[in-house]
A and B are shown apart, each in its own frame.
Chain A
Amino acid sequence: MSVLKLENLSYTYQGAPIKVLDHLNYEFENGKIYCIMGKSGAGKTTLLSLLSGLTTPTDGKIFFKDQDISQINKYNYRSQMVGVIFQGYNLLPHLTAAENVQLSMDISEKIFPDKVRHGFAALAKVELGEEKATRRILKLSGGEQQRVAIARALSYDPEIILADEPTGNLDGETQEGIITIFKKLAHEENKCVIIVTHSPEVAKAADVLYELTPVS
C-alpha cells in the first residue's frame, strides 16, 4: 500500500506561467528508498515542496495514506508525518544543534520519555557527539550542519523522510554513513525515504528511481 500517491500532479509557477511539473503519477511505499533525479530546473525541489505540504499543486492531487493532503492540517502533516531535510538546512542559528533537534520534537507534540536524551541520540546517529551537539549552529561546519538537519528530520520519528541533496556537503565517508542511515530507516524501520539528488552514489542505494525531465 502506498503511503504517498501523486495523481496527475501538475505545478505552474504563479506570476510567470511556467509549467514545471506535468501530470505526474508516482507512488511511494513504506520500506523503500526513492531517488528523484533530473537536470537543474526539472522541478525536483518543487516536487519536494509539494510532497512536504509547503506548497499546493495547481492541478492534480497528493494522497497521504489515501487521504488528500489538501484536506489535512498542513502544520500537523509537516511536524508529525514528514521529516524534511532542506537543501539549505534551515536551522536556527541562535540555537545549539541539540536545541534545534529538540524544538522539532516539541513542535511535533509527540510524547517522548526523555526528550533531551532522544535528541542527543538522533544527533549521535549522524555521528555528532555531545560536544558538537551543544554548539550553536554557526559554530559547526557545513557538513555538520547538514547532519544536524538530518538528525532534526529523524528526531520525531516521521513516517516519510524527504531529503533535498542530503549528502551535498559531506565527504565520502560521511556520505556513506548517511546512506547507511537511510537504508536502515527504510529497510529496518519501514520508513518511506524520498531523496532528491544528483549523486550517483545515493542513486545506487535507491530501491526505485524516478527521473524528472523538464516540461517542454
Chain B
Amino acid sequence: MRHMFKQFLTATAAAALLATSAMADEPKRGGTLVTVITSTPRVLNPAVQSGIATGFPGAQLFASPLRYDDSWTPQPYLAKSWEVSEDGLKVTLHLVENATFHDGQPITSEDVAFSVDVIKEYHPFKSMFAPVTSVDTPDAHTAVINLSKPHPALMLAMSGQLMSIIPKHIYGDGQDPKNHPRNNVDVVGSGPFKLVEFKNGEHIILERYDGFFMEGRPYLDKIVMRIMPDSSARAIALENGELMLAAFEAEPTLIQRLSKVKGLNITNKGYGGIGPIDWLAMNTTRGPLQDKRVRQAIAYAIDKNFILKAILRGTAVEAKTGIHPDSPLYDADVNNYPLDLDKAAALLDEAGFPMKDGKRFDLTLELAPFPGYKPQTEYIKQALSKVGINATIHSSADFPSWAKMMGTLDFDMSLDSVYNWGDPVIGVNRTYMSDNIGKGVWSNTQGYANARVDELLQMAGTENDPEKRKALYKEFQEIVADEVPIYFLNAVPMHTIYSDKVGNPPMGIWGTSSPIDMTYLKD
C-alpha cells in the first residue's frame, strides 16, 4: 500500500507537470483499480436485483444491448445497431457477432430472449418490460422485441444495469433465477470483467475478460471493490491513496473536505440516469394536508435556499420536479415556491386554519432513517412553526418500520429520497399513478390521485416522438408543482471522487452502474 502511495505521488507530480498534455493522454492497458462499494450486494446478477450495490459489479460482469454517454444518447454495445418499427411495436436488435460469455460460449439472440423473459418475470421494476409480448429470434444475431404498445422507456431499460444479458445455458437450468446458486459464485457473465472472488463484507475482485468483444478493452487488468460501510474510513482511504475511486458519496461535509485534497478530483456527473431526488412527501389523504392550499403554504414557508446553502453546503443541485435535473425531460420553469411567509399565512387562513394562540394545527414530521436527514427535518419543523404549523418530529427505529408506515400511508409528512432509474416510466410513474397508492415503500405514498396526471403519464409512456413526449411530461410536472403532493428539494448530492491517477472515470448518465471498460490508470 505504501508503495502504491508513492506511485500515486509521482503520478500526481507527473500529472501536474504535464497538465496541458494530460487531456490528450492515450488510454493504456494494465493495472489494478482499487475502488469501493458501501454495502455487500445481495446478488451480483442484475437481471433479478436492481439497486446501486449490485449495479457497480453487475454492470462490469454483464453487458447490456445499449449504453449511454453523458448526453443521454444511446450508443451501441452488445447491439451494434437497432431500429424501431413505424408503429413502435417492434424493436429489432442487431447483435455483435463476436461476443462471448466468460465461459467462451457465443452470446446469441436466444440469450437475449431468455434474459428478457427472466427480467420480465423477476426484476423488481415491472414497468420496464411490461409491454413486451414476445421476443423473436430470426437468426443467431437478430432479436426482435414485440410490444403490445409503443414503449419509448425500452431504450433506457436496455442500458446500464437494467438489461443484463445472462447466459441461457447457465440460468436456464430450471432453478429459480432469483435464488440461483450461480448469482454469487462462478458467475458466467457477458461483460468486460469476470468474477475472481466475492467475499461477503470484504471485497469483490474482478479481472479483465480477455475474450471481451470490444477490441482492446477493457483497459484495466483488475478491479478490487472493497466493501466499506463507514464513510469516514472511506474518506481517509481516499485521502491516503488506498482507494482510487469512490462513487455515490453524498455527505456534504465529506465532499467539501475532500474537494480540497490535492490529487483528488470530484464530480457530480454520472448520476442523471439513477436520478436520485430528496423531497418532502405529504400524505394528501388525511388531515389539513388534504387541502392543496395547505400544501402550497408549506412549500412557501420552507426556505429551500437555506437547505441548499447552509445544510447541504452548496454540494447539491436544486430539484423543482420529480424528474432529475440532469434529464432532458426536466422542466425548470415550474412554480418554485420562493420563501414567502405572508403568502403562506394567507393560504392557510383561506383554507380555514386561522391562527389561534400562535398555532394553527398539529402535524407529525417523520425523520426518515437515511443518513444526514436530521438537519433538514429539524429545519423544516422550525420553518413551519413560523406560520403556525406545529410539527412534531417522530423517528422510526429502522428502515422497515419507516417503510411500513410510508407504504400504508400512516404518516403526515416525511423527507424521502427516491430515484428515477432512467426513464420516468420506470422510476417516476410509481410515485404519482393513482393505481399505485400505498403499495409499499416508494410507491404512491402520498395517496395522490389526479386523473389528468394518470392520463398524461399513460400517454407519455407510449409516445415515441421525443418532442411530444417532452410536452406531456412538462404538463405533468406543472400539475404536480401546482398541487404539491410533494415539495421537491434537491438532487441527492452524489459525487464520484477519484485520484489523479484514474483516466476516463465513468461519466455517462449511468456512472459506475455501467461498464468502466474505458477507465484506465495513468503511469
The answer to whether A binds B is no
